[in-house]
């Protein structure tokens, strides 16, 4: 998404200036640690980009851009605990570097801080922004919960999966577009379209991520392919293959997704074979580009 890079300087400068300060340092330091690990800053760029559609001066969208990035990092801090992740952006996660209680409490403070920033807008504007933000934040919790529930469920539907990734990932991008539009002064119909655009780009991004995990070029993607297959993750690829597979392949697929075999290489090869057999028509355009 190179289109977003032209906002980088503006965003970095504002973020540095707004870094939360306060006492005790043991509460605020872990917040700044995570925020300073970087990341692509896609969400703030989306807020500014969306604002710019209606209003040349995007400075007044900076607080909202920052608030959404703080919120995003709050979800990372808590999700990393839930996922038992030890590494984030190449560095130890907060609960690894500090401890569990620090990651819970500093995460809570980040969520509150994101609200505090949004409440800096004048009342009518803040009210509109918060309506979008609250709905998104609650859906994001629902999405994370669905994801956790799916791990142990054998009856995940494609619709269920799409709802999960929409809530877990896409509604934040959707809200970023909507909030930028609100600040820029977009009309009701524009805001709806911006929201849908953000939501759909998020879903597409997640499915692309699923595809890259199985079929991506190791050098380009930066990780060993097949991670989702090893972890038996019920991705779109798996669910669609399950739907289209013949009885023999279905049996093989379900067998592989219920075991953790010693030889991961054969598992990945076999599962990918089933995936490509059934998915090549649906995804041939995307696959060709990878």
> Cβ closer to a second copy: 139 or 228?
139
Closest residue by Cα to residue 279 from 219, 210, 220? 210
Report cis status (omega within 30 of 0) of the bond before 50: no
- Contact between 18 and a second copy per CB under 8 A: no
Parallel, antiparallel, or unpaired: how do β-strands 87-88 and 91-92 relate? Answer: antiparallel
Q: How far is CA 102 from CA 32, 53, 223, 256, 264, in A?
A: 13, 40, 29, 38, 36
Strands in 42-178 per DSSP E: 87-88, 91-92
| Residue 81 interacting with a second copy (CB under 8 A) | yes
Q: Should residue 212 be labelled a site residue for a second copy when binding is judged by CB under 8 A?
A: no
- The interface region with a second copy, picked from 143-151, 210-218, 229-237, 274-282 by CB under 8 A, is 143-151
Give the residue with the Cβ less far from a second copy, 18 or 104: 104
Per-residue interface string for the shown chain with a second copy, residues 108-137, x marking contact by CB under 8 A: xx-xxx-xx--x--xxx-xx--xx--x--x
Instruction: Name the strand (E) or helix (H) holding 65.
Output: helix 62-82
Please calculate the CA angle 167-169-260 and round it to the nearest 5 degrees. 95
Residues 61-80 that bind a second copy (CB under 8 A): 78
- Which x/- pattern, by CB under 8 A, does the window 82-111 give for a second copy? x-----------------xx--xx-xxx-x
Query: Which residues of this protein are in contact with a second copy, per CB under 8 A?
Result: 22-24, 26-27, 78, 81-82, 100-101, 104-105, 107-109, 111-113, 115-116, 119, 122-124, 126-127, 130-131, 134, 137-138, 141-142, 144-146, 148-149
């Amino acid at each position: 998404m190179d289109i977003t890079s032209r906002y980088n300087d503006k965003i970095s400068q504002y973020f540095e200036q707004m870094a939360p300060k306060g006492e005790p340092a043991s509460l605020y330091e872990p917040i700044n640690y995570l925020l300073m690990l970087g990341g692509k800053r896609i969400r703030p760029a989306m807020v500014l980009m969306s604002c710019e559609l209606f209003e040349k001066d995007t400075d007044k969208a900076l607080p909202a851009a920052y608030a959404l990035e703080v919120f995003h990092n709050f979800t990372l801090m808590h999700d990393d605990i839930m996922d038992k992740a030890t590494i984030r952006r190449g560095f130890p996660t907060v609960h690894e570097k500090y401890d569990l209680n620090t990651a819970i409490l500093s995460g809570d403070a980040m969520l509150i801080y994101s609200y505090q920033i949004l409440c800096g807008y004048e009342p009518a504007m803040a009210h509109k922004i918060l309506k979008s933000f609250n709905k998104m934040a609650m859906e994001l919790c629902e999405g994370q919960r669905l994801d956790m529930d799916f791990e142990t469920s054998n009856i995940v539907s494609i619709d269920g999966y799409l709802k999960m990734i929409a809530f877990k990932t896409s509604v934040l991008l959707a809200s970023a577009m909507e909030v930028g539009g609100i600040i820029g002064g977009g009309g009701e119909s524009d805001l709806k379209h911006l929201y849908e655009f953000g939501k759909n780009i998020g879903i597409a991004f997640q499915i692309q991520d699923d595809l890259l995990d199985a079929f991506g070029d190791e050098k380009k993607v930066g990780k060993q392919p097949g991670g989702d297959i090893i972890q038996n993750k019920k991705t779109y690829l798996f669910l669609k293959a399950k739907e289209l597979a013949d009885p023999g392949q279905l049996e093989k697929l379900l067998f592989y997704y219920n075991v953790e075999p010693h030889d991961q290489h054969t598992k990945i090869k076999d599962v990918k074979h089933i995936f490509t057999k059934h998915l090549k028509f649906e995804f041939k355009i995307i696959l060709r580009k990878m």
